[in-house]
Structure formats: C-alpha cells, structure tokens
Chains A and B, each alone.
Chain A
C-alpha cells in the first residue's frame, strides 16, 4: 500500500470549513483512498472513501486530484465535536490490512 504524508496538526474555527490534505504520491491505480477519524477515547470512525471521482456523504466531501497523488477531506462546517485525529489510508483489494499512518490532529476552536 502507498505511503501517505499528512500535516501533524491543524486548527480550524468553529463553523468554518476544515480542509485536510493528504499526499499519497506512490498510490497505485487500484488503491482506494479511505478517511477515518478518531475522537479522543473512542475507536476510529469511517468517514468516506473514493478511487478517482470526488465523493460526498453526510459527513464530508473527498476531493481527489486528477493524477490521484493527493486528496483533501473537507468538513464543510466544522464543529467542536469534529476535533479528532484524521487518518488518510490508501488501500487496494489485494491487501487485508488497513494500515494507519500518523494522521492529522484537527483542533476545532470556538
């Protein structure tokens, strides 16, 4: 699976959009990009995943660049409850493992 680079931490004002970047320049053609988050003292929570098209659900939007070397998770109106560590994880169907990298610690401030 591809390696990822995420900023270790980010701040966002409550009510504003949070844009979390992820670089996955070694991603292969059959690897999806998954995003999970982990709120303090809880297990990781699935947010969204995509292959090459942009995706949106009730939690977030995922923008994947045309060359698929990077992606951005967008929380359109961040709340204090969105404070968490956000993990970007490339994964292909051949692997059983979901391998977590360092993630980005997002702090949403009032």
Chain B
C-alpha cells in the first residue's frame, strides 16, 4: 500500500475528451510532483509544485494542465491528448521541495492512461 493515492487506476479516453487525474496525500508534505512513464522506460518529471505553487514545468505541452488546490491534492487536467500520450502517470510527494532538502519522494501507484 502507498500513502499517496491516485485515481483512477486506469483511464481510457478519446482524443477529443477532457479528463482529470487526481492525487491525494495526507502526510503533510508540501511538495508534489507529476511524472510520466512510458512502457519499459524510467519515469520522467513533468511538474513540481512547492507550497501549492508551480515551481517546475519540464516543457510539458499545454494539453496537460496541472492544478494544486491545496497542499494535499494535486490534479492533472487532460485535453485533446494524442495516442502517444498513453503512459503511466505517477504522482509523488515529499516533505519539502527536494531542491531544499534530502527528503525522499513517496510515489503513488499511478494512473494507466490509454488515449484512443
């Protein structure tokens, strides 16, 4: 079991759909992260939020829109995705932004997204 909860576990969407991925943690962590993982590849960083503010966007296309409503929640809004965006989307959190400390990341088990 993981202390970072992601929903849904699986999602199938068409290229014209709008959907959202959700991530929740109740460990009091103030930094949250989105990673994308293609099959048989390592995870790649997409976004970092620190104290509910976006601190890093790794040149992610605008069809991915992150949102951090509060320190426990992180959303990823999806719109007009392409089939090549199919991947496992991982959320993580840490006590503080890893750039400021050595606190490790805690990952959820991800949402497996398929774009048709």
Residue ranges of A at the interface with B (Cβ–Cβ < 8 Å): 32, 34, 36, 41-46, 49, 87, 91, 93-103
The reply to whether A96 and B102 form a contact with Cβ atoms under 8 Å apart is no
CA distance A41 to B109 in the complex (A): 7
Q: How many residues of B contact A (CB 8 A)?
A: 27
Q: A32-B102, A44-B107, A96-B98 are in contact. List 16 more A-B contacts (CB 8 A).
A: A34-B104, A42-B110, A43-B108, A44-B105, A46-B104, A49-B104, A95-B99, A96-B48, A96-B55, A96-B56, A97-B56, A97-B58, A98-B33, A98-B45, A98-B98, A98-B105
* B101 interfacial contact with A, CB 8 Å: yes
Most buried by A among B44, B90, B101, B104: B104
- Give the nearest-CB partner of A39 in chain B: B109
The reply to whether A43 and B101 form a contact with Cβ atoms under 8 Å apart is no
Interface of B is mostly: loop
CA distance A94 to B100 in the complex (A): 7
Could you say which residues of chain A place their CB within 8 Å of the CB of B21?
none
B76 to chain A, nearest CB (A): 15
Could you say which residues of chain B place their CB within 8 Å of the CB of A102?
42
CA distance A101 to B50 in the complex (A): 24
Once A96-B48, A96-B55, A100-B42 are accepted as A-B contacts, the answer to whether A43 and B110 lie under 8 Å apart by CB is: yes
CA distance A32 to B98 in the complex (A): 12
- Give the nearest-CB partner of A41 in chain B: B109
